[in-house]
């Protein structure tokens, strides 16, 4: 077993940066002449709220603000999906081929898709021709934890908005590719970064931050989407002051150290690195928060609010309306950032406005989305070592006592605490990759991984801009025949209705449709379609690199299209231990693939290359 110290982790991160992260000389735009958008083509709040129901575009991350990733379209269905063929493919070009985890946005005949190294492309949705590209200037010393990924953009008015690896928020004119405004969200030298897609709620662009492995303090912020002006900021760690229109807006948790010892709250983590969802019925924004900092939980006894939690936030004020903590006093890096998806929970003749969340810690949670009360909780993977179950009365996990040892208790001459074998690994039963919910089948389709880890703690002190872990780890295999598992889960019973097992980890998003289909990709390069009721594999296509992005679908010119980015990368090849060795032969890439149903009289498929 290789010992991984804080110094080794820091060196590993810096190696990633030096070998992969290119510093651009300037922010570069390549654009074609384009007419100004007509008012009818502007993206409005009403259009965004209706995104899940509309079929002619994809305006939000999650194919709707609730993130169900469900389309009402049926042209591509169980019978016709066999005829799905490429319409065109677009190459992101040059050497910057790292993890492509984005979800495309489709509007007004254009596809907006982000790529690794904080790039944004505008592509003609009919032909695959590049309209413009924006390459953000990245400074030396950026510190992304888990590859140089970007998960997507937001659109509003005539703007397309995305975050960058140096923690800036950029708004671009949809037609010209020219920058309209830019705002700094955090200090990249302290470890702040941005990888998540923003959301638009009530004319505001809602964002989080990454950087929990560097001791930053998580926050959720709202800005005027047209101007970038900050409206409110809500920190996620107890004791930090929020703001509303430039004025103090209350201390998170009311006390600085109620669930934190000493000054640990000042560098407490709780990063909001995945982004959030919104429910118009309850008028609440839902954001998950990451691990407490450092990983060595012996330095910070207590629940450490609001780490590893779901926060329900008032979009008008930034106030926390309710919270639910999935992993109190997290000592395994079981981030709670995963999305809460609003849905109707039907049980015993009642319909409750609920939210479903598949957590990294191995449990699935069903919460009343209006007040945060726990309705149900059950396991999503075969092995969960840290807790036996979740008490439905108290809402708290019933722990088994499996925690890494305190370095202070180590024998003389030793620096690290006792190691434990824990499942799931810190990469999670479900990591960032978004699940989908189908209101027709009433099932969640959850991309999961079965793996474990050796985990131990080490002494650690905070230093600005340095990795802040105090832990070492080695990811381990649990099963020889599979790692990834796509499971169709009933949120009422907890039953796994069906599962698809994959040799490599599943690391991409899921989409489901009224046509009875479930789409997701594999690191081996396939985009696949499954029967939503039975799990039968109905179609697959080899894209040439691992699919770790998010598929979307829309209607254009009377035809239904499906698009997905392809490009292997992300956290697994960087931190995967024995798992990374198994998949070391997978090729990197960077392309957007677009598909439609084959027609005998259709023009031949084209490939648009840079």
Catalytic center residues: 333
**How many angstroms separate the CA atoms of 48 and 42, rounded?**
11
- Residue 486, H or E segment: strand 484-489
Pairing of β 363-368 and β 374-379: antiparallel
With contact defined as beta carbons under 8 Å apart, do 406 and 296 qualify? Answer: no
Reading phi first (left if > 0) and then psi (alpha if -120 to 50, else beta), residue 407 is in: alpha
Task: Please calculate the CA angle 129-132-133 and round it to the nearest 5 degrees.
Answer: 115
Q: Tokens 């985009």 identify what position?
A: 527
For the chain, the straight-line distance linking the first and the last C-alpha, in angstroms and rounded, comes to 44
Length of the chain: 610
**How many angstroms separate the CA atoms of 268 and 375, rounded?**
29
Q: CB under 8 Å to 458, separation ≥6 — which residues?
A: 5, 6, 296, 407, 415, 416, 417, 470, 471, 472
**How many angstroms separate the CA atoms of 292 and 218, rounded?**
10
Q: What six digits make up the tokens of 489?
A: 């889960």
3-class SS letters over 134-179: EECCCCCCCCCCCCCCCCECEEEECEEEEECCCCEEEEEECCCCCE
Backbone angles phi, psi at 539, to 5 degrees: -165, 150
């Amino acid at each position: 077993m290789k010992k991984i110290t804080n110094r080794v982790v820091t060196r590993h991160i810096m190696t990633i940066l030096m070998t992969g992260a290119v510093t651009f000389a300037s922010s570069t735009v390549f654009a074609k002449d384009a007419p100004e958008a007509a008012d009818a083509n502007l993206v409005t709040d009403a259009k965004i709220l209706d995104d899940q129901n509309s079929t002619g575009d994809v305006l939000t991350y999650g194919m709707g603000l609730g993130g169900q990733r469900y389309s009402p379209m049926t042209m591509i269905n169980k019978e016709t999906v066999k005829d799905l063929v490429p319409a065109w493919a677009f190459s992101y070009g040059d050497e910057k081929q790292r993890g492509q985890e984005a979800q495309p946005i489709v509007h007004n005949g254009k596809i907006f898709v982000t790529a690794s190294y904080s790039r944004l492309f505008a592509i003609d949705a009919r032909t695959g021709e590049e309209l413009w590209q924006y390459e953000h200037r990245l400074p030396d010393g950026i510190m992304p934890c888990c590859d140089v990924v970007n998960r997507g953009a937001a659109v509003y008015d005539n703007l397309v908005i995305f975050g960058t690896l140096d923690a800036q928020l950029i708004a671009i004119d949809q037609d010209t590719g020219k920058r309209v405004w830019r705002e700094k969200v955090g200090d990249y030298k302290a470890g702040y970064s941005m990888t998540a897609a923003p959301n638009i709620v009530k004319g505001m662009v809602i964002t989080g931050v990454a950087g929990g492995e560097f001791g930053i303090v998580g926050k959720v912020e709202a800005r005027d989407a047209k101007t970038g002006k900050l409206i409110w900021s809500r920190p996620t760690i107890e004791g930090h002051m929020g703001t509303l229109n430039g004025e103090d807006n209350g201390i998170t948790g009311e006390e600085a150290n109620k669930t934190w010892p000493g000054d640990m709250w000042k560098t407490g983590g709780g990063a909001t690195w995945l982004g959030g969802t919104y429910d118009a019925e309850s008028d609440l924004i839902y954001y998950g928060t990451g691990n407490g900092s450092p990983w060595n939980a012996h330095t910070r006894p207590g629940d450490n609010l609001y780490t590893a939690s779901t926060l329900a936030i008032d979009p008008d004020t930034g106030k926390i309306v309710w919270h639910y903590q999935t992993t109190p006093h997290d000592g395994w890096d079981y981030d709670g950032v995963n999305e809460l998806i609003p849905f109707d929970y039907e049980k015993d003749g009642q319909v409750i406005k609920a939210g479903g969340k598949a957590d990294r810690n191995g449990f699935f949670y069903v919460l009343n989305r209006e007040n945060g009360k726990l309705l149900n909780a059950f396991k999503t993977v075969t092995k969960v070592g840290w807790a036996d179950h979740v008490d439905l009365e108290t809402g708290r996990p019933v722990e088994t006592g499996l925690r890494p040892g305190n370095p202070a208790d180590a024998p003389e001459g030793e620096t690290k605490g006792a190691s434990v074998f824990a499942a799931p690994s810190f990469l999670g039963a479900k990591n960032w990759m978004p699940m989908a919910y189908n209101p027709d089948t009433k099932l969640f389709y959850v991309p999961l991984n079965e793996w474990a880890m050796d985990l131990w703690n080490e002494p650690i002190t905070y230093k600005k801009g340095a990795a802040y872990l105090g832990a070492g780890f080695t990811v381990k295999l649990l099963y020889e025949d599979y790692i990834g598992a796509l499971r169709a889960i009933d949120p009422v019973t907890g039953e796994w209705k069906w599962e698809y097992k994959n040799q490599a980890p599943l690391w991409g998003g899921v989409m489901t449709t009224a046509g009875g289909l479930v789409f997701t990709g594999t690191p081996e390069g396939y985009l696949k379609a499954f029967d939503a009721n039975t799990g039968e594999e109905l179609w697959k296509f080899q894209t040439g690199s691992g699919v770790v992005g998010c598929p979307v679908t829309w209607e254009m010119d009377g035809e239904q299209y499906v698009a997905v980015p392809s490009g292997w990368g992300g956290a697994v090849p960087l931190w995967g231990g024995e798992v990374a060795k198994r998949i070391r032969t997978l090729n990197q890439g960077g392309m957007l693939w677009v598909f439609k149903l084959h027609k005998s009289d259709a023009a031949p498929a084209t490939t648009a290359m840079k």
